[in-house]
Homo-oligomer: A and B are copies of this chain.
Amino acid sequence: MAKTQITAEPGIPQVVITREFEAPRDLVFRAYTDPELIVRWLGPRELTTRFDHHEPRDGGRWRYVSTDPAGNEHGFHGVFHGTPSMDGIVQTFEYEGVPGHVALETVTFEEAGGRTLVRSVSSFQSVEDRDGMVASGMESGVRTSDERLEELLVELQGR
């Protein structure tokens, strides 16, 4: 069972998320960087997600679109700072439904005893931006994503 902790302290324009998976670091990293795997766990189950592009290198751009059952599309995009590696992924993040609001995301992967601790820090441009992201239902999205990723990791390990 993934243990997801979401921290959003009052007045601090950040969200810190930690979660632990029963899988080795290289597999978790692959699930975070292979677009064919990402679309299998990212976001609510009722959405269908497709990548327009995903260029995992310094300055590379990424964009994906999630479509809900009514056909509404939600676009997200950003760029990579540095080339993603198991030491970490640093990228910008913008939801196109609220354009002009950008976050910096840092994801790190730490392995211990066959388990991997994933830590994600999102730094926003303002506390208002952070609060808007939390109010948009971020927590439920994160918890569902983690459940789905856990299921995918079980499947990929043939357990």
Contact = CB atoms under 8 A, between A and B. Distances in A.
Contact of A125 (B94, B106, B126): B106
Q: How many copies, total? A: 2
Contacts of A55: 59
B58 A58 contact: no
B125 A104 contact: yes
Interface residues of A, number: 28
A124 B12 CA distance: 11
A28 interface: no
Contacts of A12: 11-13
Nearest to A93: B81
A9 to B, nearest CB: 9
Interface string A117-150: 0000101111000000000000000000000000
